[in-house]
Chain A
Amino acid sequence: MVPVTGRLPARPALVLLTGLLLAGALLALRTGPMPLSVAEVWQGLFDRQAEASVQLVVRELRLPRLLLAMLVGAALGVSGALLQGLFRNPLADPGLIGISSGAALGAVAVIVLGERVFAHWDMTVPGMTLPLTAFVCALLTTAVIWRIGSRQGETHVAMLLLAGIAINAIAMAGVGVMTFIADDGQLRTLTFWTMGSLAQADWRDLRLVSPWIVLVLLAMPLLARALNAVLLGESVALHLGHDVDRLKRRIVVMCALAVGAAVSVSGLIGFVGLVAPHLVRLTLGVDHRTLLPASALLGAVLLVLADTGARLIVAPAEFPIGLMMALLGGPFFLALLMRRLPE
């Protein structure tokens, strides 16, 4: 059972989360090998006469990385909330419908086989190959799982989850094969990819993923009422006038697009999709009209803070952000659950 809770009013909480996100953003822009003051950050962002190195660090290195962290965090947070609501299961997560494993297989295949394949045409591997392949593979895997889980226009959640487990296992076996045949250099690259990182973030990545994620973030409020009804069961949602099968299709497509895009540039970052909606439910309640935007905001805050931490703790090297999330978030989340349980 999900523990229960005192509740905060929704509107101030959303304002507070937005404030937190802005504070986190400022912190992320100031922190790094070259610490900057607030004034310097401001100049770097808006003043064309500012020092060239400041402009470079703020505009070309930290800003795209910050925006990417926000988008990826928001995508993971909101997808977790959508899928948990749809499956009526607080443990649901985008990984369940194959998005993560599909993207991982695509990305790892490019890392290991890319050079050999493109050598045929005497080319080096184009920069966009990895994220594009990961994105397409994420969508394909989800489509396969969706096909197996649907019969005669109806989608059975249990079937979907079981198909997800099987297909995920197959995809991860594929990743294992790639790992097995990889050479040492590739092994290091793919290991880092599976631990998640935003270190390579640039404006090109951002242009690739932002349309999908922004689209999903804008569309999500339209689903909130139907998702609330689904909390009472699919039958009740039908009785209340919601087309549940259409809702399922929309949510799966939205999550595949948003998380597929996110994972294709950031690598595997677990936990945000699970923890952000949980924290919101514990404090604000289960109404999706609040839960969805709050999960997006909190996911963004968590990832911005984790990424800032990842750049700091082993500087000048970088700690993988996926590990960072799990190491810090896991115990925190557990503590929160244990404190709430005795009620």
Chain B
Amino acid sequence: MTLQGITPLLSVRGMSLVRHGKRLLHDLSLKVRAGERVMLLGPNGAGKSSLLRVLSGEWPAESGAVHLGGVPLTSLSWGELARRRAVMPQQVTLSFPMLAEEVVAQGLPGRDAGDGQHPAVAAQMAWCDVLHLAGRVYTSLSGGEQQRVQLARVLVQLKAMSGERLLLLDEATSALDPAQQYRLVAKLATLAQETHTALIMACHDLSLAAAYGSRILLLQDGQCVADGTPEAVLTEDNLARVYGLDAYLDTHGPLAQVRVRGAHPLCTSSSRVSAQSAHTVTVG
């Protein structure tokens, strides 16, 4: 491991988030180094998107500390943040007919922003396999195409950064077909390893997370239930307790995959909520 990988790029200590009187995240602690691929898992409403919003600087944490590159997140301006982390939100809706290349070009820094002819725009659109859509109107594209165009925009922003950087993806591949999904996430994982990027990606596809995550963070009701390698986190016990799923992690094939036998017979969704209490598993 290189020297720069030793100090964590992102460090979260005892962070809680309250929005509109509701506690969304509770006492979360987390250290992520450049090059790590962290998959954020958890059922609907577990707090995956909320955590990403705090890490992106969009929502201020109520208590605790979030440091990016050793600097408190709150002391960074929007401009400084934009040079250290790129974010892809779950959904981007447009009410005006922007071209796909114009959308991607918004990721360019400073005076280049919006310049659809910039070489970085074509490069990242090709990377995301949407170069042929450059001249199309964004709103006329399919859901999966829109998602890949947004990903290209995020990558344009990421590529313009120097040094260690943070890439936050909120269900960035949810609308893609399985082949595109596996192809892109594999490429993203490689990209994170090769370019000093800490990748944190929220997703619902357990197998995808198991296959490409170097680490998995399992959230439930705003708390971190387990944090570690896919093998350590995706145990039959955790899958049953958090997801109410009768499933196991199969590591025999070329890619680790979660095999589902069905919904867990003992875990209805209501008993799952009441049984979770404050049972936290810590994994080295």
Size bracket, chain B contacts: 20 to 34
Minimum CB–CB distance from A89 to chain B (whole Å) comes to 6
B107 engages A240 (CB within 8 Å): yes
A88 engages B157 (CB within 8 Å): no
Q: Does A4 contact B (CB under 8 A)?
A: yes
B78 engages A238 (CB within 8 Å): yes
Q: Does B106 contact A (CB under 8 A)?
A: yes
Q: Which residue of A lies closest to B99 (CB)?
A: A285
Q: Does A228 contact B (CB under 8 A)?
A: yes
**Cα-based distance from A246 to B21 in the complex (angstroms):** 26
Per the 8 Å Cβ criterion, residues 58-101 of B in contact with A are: 58, 77-83, 86-87, 89, 92-99
A239 engages B94 (CB within 8 Å): no
B106 engages A232 (CB within 8 Å): yes
Q: Does B56 contact A (CB under 8 A)?
A: yes
Known: A235-B58, A238-B58, A242-B78. A281 touches B114 (CB 8 A): no
Q: Does B140 contact A (CB under 8 A)?
A: yes
**Cα-based distance from A10 to B80 in the complex (angstroms):** 32
**Cα-based distance from A232 to B87 in the complex (angstroms):** 13
A286 engages B97 (CB within 8 Å): yes
Chain B CB within 10 Å — which of A4, A236, A239, A287 has the most? A239
Q: Does B137 contact A (CB under 8 A)?
A: yes
Q: Does A289 contact B (CB under 8 A)?
A: yes
A287 engages B102 (CB within 8 Å): yes
Chain A CB within 10 Å — which of B80, B83, B96, B137 has the most? B96
Q: Does A5 contact B (CB under 8 A)?
A: yes
B89 engages A289 (CB within 8 Å): no
Q: Does A1 contact B (CB under 8 A)?
A: yes
Known: A1-B139, A228-B106. A241 touches B99 (CB 8 A): no
Residues of B near A228 (CB, < 8 A) are 102, 106, 113-114
Q: Does B189 contact A (CB under 8 A)?
A: no
Q: Does B203 contact A (CB under 8 A)?
A: no
Residues of B near A117 (CB, < 8 A) are none
Q: Which of B77, B95, B113, B157 contacts A225 (CB 8 A)?
A: B113
Query: A263-296 interface mask toward B, CB cutoff 8 Å, 1 = contact, 0 = none?
Result: 0000000000000000001000111010000000
B95 engages A236 (CB within 8 Å): no
A88 engages B96 (CB within 8 Å): yes
Query: A83-101 interface mask toward B, CB cutoff 8 Å, 1 = contact, 0 = none?
Result: 0000011100000000000
Q: Does A219 contact B (CB under 8 A)?
A: no
A89 engages B78 (CB within 8 Å): no
**Cα-based distance from A242 to B81 in the complex (angstroms):** 10
Q: Does B103 contact A (CB under 8 A)?
A: yes
Per the 8 Å Cβ criterion, residues 116-138 of B in contact with A are: 137
**Cα-based distance from A89 to B81 in the complex (angstroms):** 28
Minimum CB–CB distance from A73 to chain B (whole Å) comes to 23
Residues of B near A243 (CB, < 8 A) are 77-79
Chain A CB within 10 Å — which of B81, B86, B107, B113 has the most? B113
Q: A228-B106, A229-B113 are in contact. List 14 more A-B contacts (CB 8 A).
A: A2-B95, A4-B140, A88-B95, A90-B95, A231-B94, A231-B95, A232-B92, A235-B58, A238-B78, A239-B82, A241-B78, A241-B79, A241-B82, A243-B78
Pairs A-B, 3 closest by C-beta atoms:
A241-B82, A239-B87, A241-B79
